[in-house]
Amino acid sequence: MTRSILVVDDEPAIRDTLRWCLQDAGYRVDTADSGEQALHRLRTEPSDVVITDIVMPGIDGLEVLGRARALAPGTAVMLMTAYATVETAVEALRRGAVDYILKPFRLDDVRERVDRVLARPGRDRVPVAAEEVEPIADGDLLGRSAAIQALRGQIARVAPMSSHVLVTGETGTGKELVARSIHAQSPRRSQPFVAINCGAIPEGLFESVLFGHARGAFTSAVHASPGLIASADRGTLFLDEVGEMPLHLQVKLLRFLEEKEVWAVGRTRPARVDCRVVASTNRDLGREREAGRFRDDLFYRLKVVHLHVAPLRERREDVPLLVEHFIRLFNQQLGTQCRAVEGPALRALGEHDWPGNVRELRHVVESSLILAGGREAITLGDLPADLAGPVSPRSLRQAARDFEQQRILDVLAGAAFDKKEAARRLGLSLASLYRKLDGKTP
């Protein structure tokens, strides 16, 4: 089943550009020119992801966010705005937005964010608000390898303690699932689990979003906000991609870790917050420290316990079990009846290096089931070309078309979505630009 996305914006150029970009990435994309139209679409046909502008006539993006969560709790909502303020960022995250995109944006960045949201374990749960942790069921910690068995044992020993934990590993290995597993096995399991993606918060809003602010602390601070750290009181705070945190705020985080007190912007007294911190990163924090981008003292304060999630290429014996798990999962979701993977296909899966790790494997299994067309076994021909064997002439032509499409979209974004200006920069007529965007090569 192709994942569906609803793009909501009152500017036609932005709607069209995002539609072309995300369709090119393989998603089914619908658009709406107002909040009212978006809600009508969601009532009749829910989407996996809604990407909505905040500032629109009539029903604005924040109201779309709130109503979308009520209409379709499984829908992930991403907000975009050209008018970033602390108030809207905090409010968006508190209401359950999964991401906050600033205009002008890079199209490849939007596409990566959508991919990340749809690949997130338990994506139908609110990632930045207090929530009950669901059972581990997404496959990221499944495996018979020594590395995964050791990791499960480490989690079991660490979870009952109150020590802070640093989880390292490549993108797609399941670091957030490790954090959720620690929380689920800890004495804090009935209290909030608050996940904060440090790479998704605009730098200018970082301090107020995390630590809160007093009313009137700055121009846009119309209301006081306790901040997201305070939301984790008595629970677990998960700082995803902590290596993205600005250096000047690392001092403030260090003070919180040492004193368990949060100093909100504009307040004269701190607030006590008791929470356990689990941080994750795919960066080499040793190099970051040497380069002066990450503080030594914060590194050692976070790394009381260090857990590392091995990449999939180092535990290839886990691939068959993970494939079996994902086949069962997608059989339920897609209504397919696949029961096996033929030998050549399984060997190809086992020999692949998996740069995207378990997340990439999950996408490959889903894609292969769809291409299998209802057959009971996945064959070598159902796998992506880079797994199945040498690149065919057709795939080379497709690669050229993909490159051309990406170049056009990048120029469109650089031209502020002005199609006439983009056509001029590309040396195309406006009619040719439209044909290429619609996938029709003259």
The CATH number assigned to the domain with range 314-388 reads: 1.10.8.60
Is the model more confident about 13 or about 263? 13
- C-alpha–C-alpha distance, residues 213 and 151, integer Å: 38
The CA distances from residue 158 to 96, 185, 381, 415, 428, in Å, are: 29, 9, 44, 51, 60
pLDDT of 89-110, one tens digit each?
Answer: 666 776 778 887 877 788 888 8
Which 3 state secondary structure label does DSSP give 308?
Answer: strand
- Whether 4-119 and 146-310 share one fold: the answer is yes
What pLDDT score does 94 carry? 66
**79 pLDDT more than 50:** yes
pLDDT digits (tens, 9 = 90+) for 188-231: 999 999 888 887 777 767 777 788 746 544 445 445 576 788 88
CA distance 127 to 99: 9
Sheet holding 99-102, edge to edge: 28-32, 4-8, 49-53, 76-81, 99-102
- Contact between 323 and 361 under an 8 Å Cβ cutoff? The reply is yes
CB 52, CB 95: distance < 8 Å: no
pLDDT at 254 over 50: yes
Name the band, by pLDDT with cuts 50, 70 and 90, for residue 186: very high
Distances (CA, A) of 273 to 113, 130, 228, 262, 282: 30, 15, 11, 7, 27
3-state secondary structure 228-272: HHHHCCCCEEEEECHHHCCHHHHHHHHHHHHHCEECCECCCCCEE
Which CATH code fits 146-310?
3.40.50.300
Q: pLDDT digit string (tens) for 348-396?
A: 898 899 999 998 999 899 989 988 888 888 988 899 888 876 544 445 5
Alpha-carbon distance of 119 to 359, in angstroms, equals 6
8 A C-beta contact, residue 284 and residue 243: no
Sequence-distant (6+) residues with CB within 8 A of 271 are 212, 226, 230, 261, 262, 264
CB neighbour list of residue 150: distance below 8 Å, 6 or more residues apart: none
Q: What is the CATH number of domain 4-119?
A: 3.40.50.2300
For the chain, domain boundaries = 4-119, 146-310, 314-388, 396-437
For residue range 16-48, what is the model confidence (pLDDT) as tens digits? 889 888 988 888 999 999 999 999 888 888 888
301 — pLDDT class (breaks 50, 70, 90):
very high
The whole-number pLDDT of residue 398 equals 60
Average pLDDT of the chain is: 81
Whether residue 132 has pLDDT greater than 70: no
Locus of tokens 């924090």: 285
pLDDT of residue 282: 92
Fold of 396-437: Arc Repressor Mutant, subunit A (1.10.10)
